[in-house]
Structure 1
Amino acid sequence: MGDPTLEPADFDTMRVGYGLHPSLDVGDLHDGWLPLFAAWLEEAGHRGVREPNAMVLGTVGVDGRPSTRTVLCKGADDRGLTFFTTMSSRKGAQLARSGYASATFPWLTVERQVHVEGRCSPLDRAESLAYWRTRPRGSQVAAWASEQSQPVGGVEELNALYEVAEERLADVEEIPMPDRWGGYRLRPDRVEFWQGGRDRFHDRVECLRGQDGWTVRRLQP
C-alpha cells in the first residue's frame, strides 16, 4: 500500500460552494428559537438528511478537556432538547460534574447547522420511563447488556454480554428500565442558527436567553 497521508493539496480540493438559502430574517425568531429550529429540522428530513435529529453532544471532563459524540435528540419544546443514554457512561459522568453541555445539528447537505448551549439536567424517572417503554425490545436488552464506556476484551466477549442479557430477559414480558439508564434535558441559554453563504460569507443569527426573555442578533461570519 502507498502512503495514506493526505497532502495539503488534497485538502484544498475538498471544497464545495454554498448559497442555497436567502439570508435569515431576524424577525423569524421573534417567538424564540423553537419554531425556526422545528421548521429546519423538518425541512432537513424532507431534503433527505438521514436522522436529522442526530446531534453532536459536547461535554467537559474533570480535566477541562472537551469531549463530543453523536446522540439522537428525542424531543424539543420550550423547555429544551431531550436525549437518553446510560447515565453511568463517560458523558453521564461529565454531565454530573459540570452540569452544562452543547449540541450541534450538522445538516451539511442542506447547508445549515443549529448550535445549542446551556445547562443539562437529568429528567425525572417518570419521563425517562415513558420513553423507555417506546424502545424496541432489542434496544432494551442492549441497555441491560452494556456498561456503556467500560472496556471489553473483544467482539466475542461483547456479543456474549448481549446473549446473556437476552437469555436472562427472555421470559420477561415488560423489560424494566435499568437504574443506570435515563434521559437529560438541555435547556438552552444560547442558540445559533447558521447557513452557508457564498464565498464563505456565512449567515449567522444568535439567540441569547436573558432575565427578560430572548434577544436576537446577527453575527459576522
Structure 2
Amino acid sequence: AADTILVTVGRRPFVEGWGLEELALDRDGRFIRVDDQCRTSMRGVYAIGDVTGEPMLAHRAMAQGEMVAEIVAGHKRNWDRRAIPAVCFTDPEVVTAGLSPEEARATGREIKVGQFPFSANGRAMIMEAEDGFVRVVARADNHLVLGIQAVGQGVSELAAAFGLAIEMGARLEDVAGTIHTHPTLGEAFHEAALRTLGHALHI
C-alpha cells in the first residue's frame, strides 16, 4: 500500500486555433522544428516555447524569447538545450542538468561519476534534511562536466549553479577549485566534484 500517489497529466503544445496550419513550417510530430537560433523552416519566422518541443519549461521559453529578440536586433546568439536545468518541485526536490550517467555512456565516451550524500553536508544536517545527494557526470579524459543531478530538500536552489557549470564548459577542477560557502547545500556540489576526482573531503 502507498501513502501518496503522484498523478501527472503532462503538457501539450498550443498549436491549434491560431493559424499555424496556414504556415508551411517543418514539424517534428506535433512540434515546430527549429534550429539552435529558434529559426523555423520559413525565413523570418521564429518559434519559442512549448511549440518547439521538450523540455517544455517556462525558463526555457523565456531564454528562447530573449535570444530571438537579440538576434532580431542584430546580435549573434545561439541556444544549447544541454544547459537547461529541470526541476521537480516535489518533496524531496529533484534537479537535473545536462546528461545522466546513462545518457553520457550512450555517447560512447568513457566517463567518471561522483556522488556526495547530504548526510555528510552540514547545512542538510542543520535542516534535518539529510536524505538525498548531488551527483556529477564528467568525461574521463578531460574532466568536462557533462551532467549534474541532485535529490533533496531545497535542491532547486542549486539548479542555476548546475546550469552555469554546463553552459560555461566547466571541468571538475573548476567546480572543485571554487570556494563554496559553509554551511550551504551547495557544498555538496563541490564535494561531488572532489569525489569524482578521487579526493572528497568529508566522506
Which is richer in strand? 1
Indicate the TM-score class for this superposition, using the shorter chain for normalisation: under 0.3
Question: Which protein shows a greater Rg?
Answer: 1
Greater relative contact order structure (CA < 8 Å, 6+ sep): 1
TM-score with structure 1 length normalisation? 0.25
TM-score with structure 2 length normalisation? 0.26
